[in-house]
Chains A and B, each alone.
Chain A
Amino acid sequence: MTARAESVARPPALRADLATVRVLVRRAANEILRVPGAAIPGVLAPTIFFVGLTAVFSGLTALRGFDTDTYQSFIVPISLLQGAGFTGAAAGVNLARDIEQGWFDRLLVSPAPRPVLLAGMVASASLRSLIPATFLLAIGFAIGVGWPGLDGLVLALAFVMATGAVAACWGVMIALRFRTQSAAPLMQSGMFVLVLTTTAYAPLDVLQGWLADIARLNPLTQVVEAIRSGFVTGSVSWADAGQGALAVAALLAVLGAIALYQLNRTGRR
């Protein structure tokens, strides 16, 4: 104990930062591995929506604007994004818990840069969003969702992870603002509204009034359409994929910047 902090040999900064992200992801994974029930809400809710809506509204594909006659292929993208939204926003709930229990202070008092701490939380959520996606796709393919091709599948999973990251930034932002798990409904409902006010259950041509206006403006609509093209047509529309990528990148940039701003301001109030 005689050697003191400044004499410690340290790995290069980038390697140390990546190692920090890795340990934060591993800690988040502990919750899934050691308390598997923690993953159930993020899996169950979108699956129930998916199966239930497919059963009730399968006849909608007869309307104009639907490019498929299997409603489950049409709505599977929205269920995937719902799962990502729930799971991602749970990062905010977990952060609020960590703030309340004092664990977050352990991170804040360490020399790890704030953007690295945020990256750890977001990366954890992004990876966790693959759990409901895997479950949903297994159910979906079993009940007739069209095969999107390998590239379509990879693209869908990439968008799921990106949406999980967006939701995590939103959740972190709310958690840092309110610093209590009582804000969990706001974290979850925010993503719920963002996902549902897209072309979630019907094409843009079929939507009317305020919902059509909002869906047109909602950047997540681009993501939904990008994923949907693979499941509905069996091949990826790279034009839609590009627009979707731009939209999700913009969301990530804006919400990530706000979350980081909030993180840097921690301790001022």
Chain B
Amino acid sequence: MPAIEVTGLEREFEGGIRAVDGVDLEVAAGGIYAFLGPNGAGKTTTVRMLTTLLRPTGGSARVAGHEVIAEAAAVRRSIGVALQEAALDPLMTGRELIALQATLHGLGGGEGRRRGGALLERVGLSGAADRRVGTYSGGMRRRLDLAAALVHEPRVLFLDEPTTGLDPVSRKAIWEEVAALNREGATVFLTTQYLEEADRLADRVGIIARGRIVAEGTPGSLKAEVGHPHLEIGLAEGSIERAEGIGAAFGRLQPARDGKVLVELEGGATQVARVVRALDDAGLAVESLELVEPTLDDVFVAKTGEHIEAGASGEPAAAPAAADGEGSARA
């Protein structure tokens, strides 16, 4: 049974504003699904409907096997939620907040304290557990919010832009925790406007724009839809024309850029070694090689004609080399 099943989900607000316009999606139990899109695309509205905070005006949705309107209480028992703005009371301590969350979920005092202590330890906040939340950094607040969402051991975890506004170190810590939770069996539904976040964490990505899903699939399959990786060759010495002649044997030549030869590798990244050997055999000295994979932003551009807001991406459009072996690889 899928953890989340959504059919024709719609949300129209007063004044006729249609924030979500017929979303269909399915998230397998145990998966990580990233909902990627720019600000105002409908991500948060969708999450609020799936978490029972907002009533859909059309379509249907089931979460953890329960219908979000008719069985809202059962949905709430099965989910953990960390919303976009970490909703924390600055006057409470971290330990008090986790205890309150445990009580809201019907856990007894002893059990709540035991789990709260373990979760604070897990997210690295044991040392700050008795400090007021108002003194926490942004990263600490997000980790506390995540711990609070986990106190009742939910089957499905909703994370609404969990790393927005965080520094790279805090962002990485959240990613590691999300991946670990998923390995332990939790289904994760996260919204993000960070390309790298979706690319790195999710096994399926839904790209949303203007309330509609415009593309859906694994990150790899989505990127494959918009083209092959490009190899950018910089020569230390030798003729660009000769290099282009060699490159053309491996794929379509693209217009040269900054004195570099650009080849779309029809056989994919596995051809890089062969290209290098061919250039070497021809006596051309290679100064630099860069494999540029299509990004999810390219997918977004292909589907909508627009970029995900540059300011929102937080990262260069090309995914970095560290991202699961995809993205740029420099030689």
A56 on the B face (CB < 8 A) = no
Closest A residue to B65 by beta carbon equals A6
Which of A10, A27, A106 is within 8 Å of B106, CB to CB? A10
A267:B99 contact, CB within 8 angstroms: no
Bound together, the chains give a CA A236 to CA B54 distance in angstroms of 50
Set of chain A residues within 8 Å of B142, measured between Cβ atoms: none
B140 on the A face (CB < 8 A) = no
Bound together, the chains give a CA A106 to CA B155 distance in angstroms of 17
Which of B14, B52, B87 is within 8 Å of A267, CB to CB? B52
Complex interface residues of chain A between 247 and 269 (CB less than 8 A to chain B): 267-269
A101:B103 contact, CB within 8 angstroms: no
Bound together, the chains give a CA A3 to CA B85 distance in angstroms of 28
For chain A, the bracket of interface size reads: 35 or more
Which of A9, A112, A113, A267 is within 8 Å of B55, CB to CB? A267
- The smallest C-beta distance from B46 to any residue of chain A, in angstroms, reads 14
Which of A23, A30, A31 is within 8 Å of B104, CB to CB? A23
Closest A residue to B48 by beta carbon equals A267
Set of chain B residues within 8 Å of A267, measured between Cβ atoms: 48, 52-55
Closest A residue to B74 by beta carbon equals A111
Query: Per-position contact with A for B46-70: 1 when CB-CB < 8 Å, else 0?
Result: 0010011111000000000000000
B81:A109 contact, CB within 8 angstroms: yes
A269:B14 contact, CB within 8 angstroms: yes
B99:A105 contact, CB within 8 angstroms: no
Known contacts A1-B181, A101-B85, A103-B87; A111/B14 CB under 8 A: no
A62 on the B face (CB < 8 A) = no
B73 on the A face (CB < 8 A) = yes
A1:B185 contact, CB within 8 angstroms: yes
B150:A111 contact, CB within 8 angstroms: no
- The smallest C-beta distance from A114 to any residue of chain B, in angstroms, reads 10
- The smallest C-beta distance from A196 to any residue of chain B, in angstroms, reads 33
B155:A20 contact, CB within 8 angstroms: no
Query: Per-position contact with A for B215-255: 1 when CB-CB < 8 Å, else 0?
Result: 00000000000000000000000000000000000000000
B212 on the A face (CB < 8 A) = no
Set of chain B residues within 8 Å of A104, measured between Cβ atoms: 87
B53:A105 contact, CB within 8 angstroms: yes
Bound together, the chains give a CA A5 to CA B152 distance in angstroms of 6
Set of chain B residues within 8 Å of A268, measured between Cβ atoms: 55
- The smallest C-beta distance from A137 to any residue of chain B, in angstroms, reads 28
Q: 21 A-B pairs, CB-CB below 8 angstroms?
A: A2-B184, A4-B155, A4-B185, A5-B79, A8-B153, A9-B108, A11-B107, A27-B89, A30-B92, A31-B91, A102-B84, A102-B85, A103-B88, A105-B53, A106-B87, A106-B104, A109-B52, A112-B105, A267-B53, A267-B55, A269-B14
Set of chain B residues within 8 Å of A106, measured between Cβ atoms: 83, 87, 101, 104, 148
Query: Per-position contact with B for A1-42: 1 when CB-CB < 8 Å, else 0?
Result: 111111011110100100110110001001100110000000
Bound together, the chains give a CA A113 to CA B76 distance in angstroms of 11
Complex interface residues of chain B between 123 and 157 (CB less than 8 A to chain A): 132, 148, 150, 152-155
A208 on the B face (CB < 8 A) = no
B77:A1 contact, CB within 8 angstroms: no
Set of chain B residues within 8 Å of A105, measured between Cβ atoms: 53, 81, 83, 87
B100:A11 contact, CB within 8 angstroms: no
- The smallest C-beta distance from B139 to any residue of chain A, in angstroms, reads 18
Which of B83, B84, B104 is within 8 Å of A112, CB to CB? B104
B109 on the A face (CB < 8 A) = yes
Nearest 4 Cβ contacts at the A-B interface? A102-B87, A110-B104, A16-B106, A1-B184
Set of chain B residues within 8 Å of A6, measured between Cβ atoms: 77-78, 155
Known contacts A23-B104, A267-B52; A109/B79 CB under 8 A: yes
For chain B, the bracket of interface size reads: 35 or more
Which of B53, B89, B96, B185 is within 8 Å of A108, CB to CB? B53
A139 on the B face (CB < 8 A) = no
Bound together, the chains give a CA A269 to CA B17 distance in angstroms of 12
A20:B104 contact, CB within 8 angstroms: yes
Bound together, the chains give a CA A35 to CA B150 distance in angstroms of 30
A45 on the B face (CB < 8 A) = no
Closest B residue to A17 by beta carbon equals B106
A10:B55 contact, CB within 8 angstroms: no
Closest A residue to B51 by beta carbon equals A109
Closest A residue to B115 by beta carbon equals A8
Known contacts A5-B153, A5-B154, A8-B153; A35/B83 CB under 8 A: no
Set of chain A residues within 8 Å of B167, measured between Cβ atoms: none
Known contacts A110-B76, A267-B53; A1/B104 CB under 8 A: no
Closest B residue to A109 by beta carbon equals B81
B186 on the A face (CB < 8 A) = yes
Bound together, the chains give a CA A269 to CA B15 distance in angstroms of 11
B315 on the A face (CB < 8 A) = no
Bound together, the chains give a CA A102 to CA B44 distance in angstroms of 13
Closest B residue to A11 by beta carbon equals B108
Set of chain B residues within 8 Å of A48, measured between Cβ atoms: none
Set of chain B residues within 8 Å of A9, measured between Cβ atoms: 108, 111
Set of chain B residues within 8 Å of A154, measured between Cβ atoms: none
B153:A27 contact, CB within 8 angstroms: no
A53 on the B face (CB < 8 A) = no
Bound together, the chains give a CA A244 to CA B242 distance in angstroms of 100
A107 on the B face (CB < 8 A) = yes
Bound together, the chains give a CA A111 to CA B75 distance in angstroms of 8
Bound together, the chains give a CA A22 to CA B103 distance in angstroms of 9
Bound together, the chains give a CA A105 to CA B86 distance in angstroms of 10
